[in-house]
Every structure is written in C-alpha cells, then in structure tokens.
Chains A and B, each alone.
Chain A
Amino acid sequence: MRLVPPRRPILLALAGLIASCSAREPEPIALNEDQCGLCRMTISDARFGGEAVLPTGRVKKFDSVECLLGWVRATRVDQRGAIYVIDLQHPGKFVAVDKAGFIKDGLIQGPMGGSLLGFESLAKAEEQRAVLGGRVLSWAQVLADSAAGMGH
C-alpha cells in the first residue's frame, strides 16, 4: 500500500495542467499562496488586485491595481488577453476593467503603498468617493494617467 502515494502529485499536476489549459474565466486568487505576477509579493489582501487571462489560457495574478497596470504597460496589446480588477467592496470578486470604476488617491492604501482602488462600476466608484475622497477614473483614464505621470 505504501507504493501508492507518489501517484497523487502526478494526478494533481495533470489535473492542474488540464484546468489551466481550459481557463477562460479569471481564476480565484489563493490568499497567502499566489504570487503577484509583477512584484512577486505573496497576495494577502482580497480587497485589492487583478488578473489577466492571457490568450494562451494562462493567468497572471496581481496584488494591486498598480502592479496590474505596470504589467499591462509592459505587455503588447495582443498578448494581454482579458483583464480584470478586484472590486474593493466585494473582496475576491473580479470585474472586467472596461466596466470597472477606479478611485485614485483615496483614503485606503493598497499593498504597494499607493491608493488606486477598483470598483464594480464608475457609478459605484463615484458613490464611494464621498467616503474615500480622491479622483474617480475609468480604465482608459487610469492608463492615460499612468502614461502621463509615469508613476503610480
């Protein structure tokens, strides 16, 4: 019976391979396990971050909107795939960036020390601005803003 155990990791690895090949939806972030695809920090706060589902089916996870943005800016448009951001009000929930709203320089700091926060929609971001302050931006504006400022 002692001979059986080695098989399990192989099965798991195969299952993982198959799963990752067919992934089109963003994959949930495993807190304190998954690493940020840009800064390599272990992701530990479900309120922040994002994910890219690459054209190859692989996913890249990020601990903050800043890191997601940094990766997007360094990656060719046709290789970015589908990009999602976490909704601050629903930790762990992904929203396609084009539908999302953002708050920059609000009261809450993300894992990279700055404040760039994701919300379900522009309307929700606008609503939260009353509490958190800062500026409301769309994804297009976030991109334009980072291109102009070169910062985070």
Chain B
Amino acid sequence: MLRSAVLRFAVLMSVAAPARAADLVVGTGGQFATIASALAAAKPGDRVIVRAGTYREAMLVIRTPGLTVEGQGWPTLDGQGAHEVLVIAADDVTVRGLVATNTGVSNLEDRAGIRARDVRRCVIEGNRVLDNLWGIYLQRSADCIVRDNEVEAHGLRQTESGNGIHLWYSPGARVERNRVRGQRDGIYFEFSPHGVTRDNVSERSQRYGLHFMFSDSCRYEHNTFRDNNSGVAVMYSRGVVISDNRFEHSWGSAAYGLLLKDIMGGEIANNTFDRNSTGLFVEGSSRLLVRGNVFTQNGWAAKVMADADENTFTANRFSGNAFDVTTNSRSANSTFDGNWWDEYHGYDLNRDGVGDTPFHPVRLFAFVVEQHPAALLLLRAPLVAILDAAERVLPVLTPEALVDRRPLMRPPQ
C-alpha cells in the first residue's frame, strides 16, 4: 500500500513538474537568439535548451536556482580566448550536453570552461570541455556531481595549463565516469573532504593524473590513471580509501604510480601498479593497510621511507619488478605479511601454502641505490648479484623489520 502510494506520488510529481516549468529554446527555431537572454528570462526550475550552433557570447553566468541548461546536438560555447565560458552561481543547477571551449590563457586569472562558484548540489554531466586553461572548476561548492564529461586540453604550453577537474573547498563531491586528458593535473581535490571519485580515466596529464591535498575521508575507486607525467600524488590527508584503480605507465625520475605523502590512516586495496618507475611511494604516512594489490613490471614496486610507520602490506602480489621493496634507512619498520613474491625461492614442507623460510624483499643493491642513485649503473653487474645473494642468507645491512615471514607459495586470488 505504502509503496504504491509513494509510486503514485512520484509519478504525479514527475508529470506535474514540467507543466509548471517552461522550456526556453535558444538557437534555430527557438524563442531566444542568445543564451544570455534565455538565462535572464528563466525562472527557477525552467529548462534552457540550447540548439546546435556556435555561441560567442560574453561570460555566461547562471543565477537562477534549479535551472537546467541542456545542449541538443552539441552546441559550442566559445570563450573566444578571452574569458571563462560558463559560471554556475545558483544552487541546484544542472548543465549537460554542452561544448565549452577556448578560454584562452592568463597569468592572473584561473579561467575555467565550466565553473561552479559558491553553490550547492550542482550537476555537471555529459559535457565536452575542450582546450580551456582549466576544465571544470568547483569553487567552494558543496555536494556537486561531475560525471560523464570529456575534458581535454592540447596545444597549451606546459606553463599555461590548469587542471582538468579541480575542486577547491568543495566537500561531498562525486566525480564519476569522466575522461580527462592533457591538462596539468587531471583531477585535483584541494581542501575538499568526503568526496567520491569513481570510474574515471585520467591520462597524459602534464603532471598528475590525480592529485589531492588536505582532503580527508575521500574514496577513489575503479579509476584508471595512465601515462601521466608524474603519476598520482596524494598528500596531507586522513582516512582515504584507494581501491580497484589502475596506475599505469608513469615513467621518469620523479614519477610514481602512486605517491603517498603524509597520509594518516586509510586503505590501499586491490589496485594494479603496472610499468611505473616507482609503483607505490610511501613517505611520512602511517597506519595504512596495503592489501590485495598487484605490482607488475615496475622499476621499484614499493618504496617505503623510514618515516612511514605502522603500515601493513598483506596479500599483495609482486612480479616482474626490477626491485620489489626499498627504503632509505635500516630503521624502516613497516610490516610485510603473507604476500606473494615471484623472487621467493623457498619451500613449503608442510603444504600449508605458506613458505617455510622468510623472504627479504629489500635487495641489498636496492638499498645501496637509494643512498647512491648513480650506483644504478651497476644493476646487472655480477658482483651485485653475489652481494645480493650473500645479504639474503645473512642480512647485515638491509632493514631487519622489512621481512615477510609468511610468504605465499601461490599468488592470492
């Protein structure tokens, strides 16, 4: 009974709503020639339909709460290289189906293709945000949704690119299924807690595919970060969950699949780190659970600095890495327990699936290279192999605490 009543109410509302709200049509066959005039005439709850065409207008500002601005046939809103394209300055606004392009560059203004400024509950979905200084910029805007957008910049010089999807003091955001390419940082959360970032693809960024600082209690799931110049950086935050992502192909001396700096508490689970100079870099971070990740074909799978403590690595899979784990001090004390290492050559007499001898994942040589990077030239030298073997039998230089006493005989599922 209750359910059908609710259903009837919902149907009634959905039928009633469009009757009160008007459609204001811009462009071919519409009542309005410019978007600005339609925005000025719109009442709360109305829908502004923008037909195909190119619109070269002054900066457009949406000031009517509850308005939907919807493109049909991909209308292009052109900033003419001179200004921001579209600004959302009212609550509960939805923007979809638009092409926002050509803000031009500026040293003193952070111009964005689509900006939400001091609002709540905006929805920015299914837009193409192309060749702007900054792509989509949420500024002090809470509980917004940014999804299914395509954000891309090319042709901008390195010094002249802003971020693809940028959140600044914007808590509670959902960033989903976007595709971001070629901006400085693909997705950037700054002072924006309680966000969810899911199913995005962020690639070929000039710096980071994902970057967040001072943003506590955020979740990052099922994203792909690929070919980003410096990988992904996560800094100065508490309680983050990073799971089921792919960190692929970040090459360079300062490039990391995932760089964790000053992160307190959180979980790094079921991610894949594939073909990065350094897969996972952990510095100044504590109480992290790193589990179920796959590290394949990285230069260094994991670098865990000595100032990182109480971190636990378990049920991870390490294969085909030049170095599995390294650190910068003998006093490093993270816990490795029950991981699978392709370099492990131990045996399992009691057949419980756990190796009977411990595995020392920090090669002596990795440890030496950390202190003297130039020594990397000797990577394939026979003497190095002998030293490594000796160190494994009788560790004297490498950190004692970094040992897996229960190495798995088979890769975890």
**Interface residues, chain A, CB within 8 Å of chain B?**
9-10, 13, 17, 31-35, 39-42, 44-47, 91, 108, 112-113, 131
Known: A41-B233, A113-B191. A46 touches B159 (CB 8 A): yes
Contact status A42-B229, CB under 8 Å: yes
Binds A, one of B70-78, B206-214, B405-413: B206-214
B23 within 8 A of A: no
- CA A34 – CA B229 in complex, angstroms? 11
- CA A48 – CA B214 in complex, angstroms? 20
CB interface residues, B 97-136, toward A, < 8 Å = 107-108
CB interface residues, B 177-231, toward A, < 8 Å = 184-185, 190-191, 206-208, 213-214, 229-230
Known: A32-B206, A32-B207, A32-B230. A40 touches B377 (CB 8 A): no
Known: A31-B158, A32-B158, A33-B254. A44 touches B259 (CB 8 A): no
Q: B377 to chain A: which residues have CB within 8 Å?
A: 9-10, 13
- CA A131 – CA B108 in complex, angstroms? 10
B63 within 8 A of A: no
Q: A91 to chain B: which residues have CB within 8 Å?
A: 107, 159
Contact status A113-B184, CB under 8 Å: no
5 A-B pairs whose Cβ atoms sit less than 8 Å apart in the complex? A32-B230, A34-B254, A45-B159, A113-B213, A131-B108
Contact status A42-B235, CB under 8 Å: no
Partner of A13, one of B158, B283, B374: B374
- CA A76 – CA B377 in complex, angstroms? 33
- CA A56 – CA B333 in complex, angstroms? 31
Q: A113 to chain B: which residues have CB within 8 Å?
A: 190-191, 213-214
Q: A131 to chain B: which residues have CB within 8 Å?
A: 108
Interface band, chain B: 20 to 34
Question: In whole Å, how far is A148's beta carbon from the nearest beta carbon of chain B?
Answer: 22
Question: In whole Å, how far is B247's beta carbon from the nearest beta carbon of chain A?
Answer: 15
Q: B213 to chain A: which residues have CB within 8 Å?
A: 112-113
B346 within 8 A of A: no
B353 within 8 A of A: no
Contact status B107-A42, CB under 8 Å: no
* Closest 3 pairs (CB-CB, A-B): A42-B230, A35-B254, A44-B207
B261 within 8 A of A: yes
**Interface residues, chain B, CB within 8 Å of chain A?**
107-108, 158-159, 184-185, 190-191, 206-208, 213-214, 229-230, 233, 235, 252-254, 259, 261, 283, 374, 377
Contacts beyond the supplied A9-B377, A17-B374, A45-B159: 13 A-B pairs with Cβ under 8 Å: A31-B159, A32-B158, A33-B253, A39-B235, A40-B233, A40-B254, A42-B207, A44-B158, A46-B159, A108-B108, A113-B190, A113-B191, A113-B214
- Closest partner residue, chain A, to B229 (CB atom): A32
Partner of B259, one of A9, A17, A32, A40: A40
Partner of A41, one of B158, B214, B235, B374: B235
- CA A63 – CA B234 in complex, angstroms? 16
Q: A108 to chain B: which residues have CB within 8 Å?
A: 108
- CA A108 – CA B162 in complex, angstroms? 14
Q: A10 to chain B: which residues have CB within 8 Å?
A: 377
- CA A112 – CA B233 in complex, angstroms? 13
Q: B253 to chain A: which residues have CB within 8 Å?
A: 33
Known: A113-B213, A113-B214. A39 touches B261 (CB 8 A): yes
- Closest partner residue, chain A, to B161 (CB atom): A44
Q: A112 to chain B: which residues have CB within 8 Å?
A: 213
- Closest partner residue, chain A, to B157 (CB atom): A31
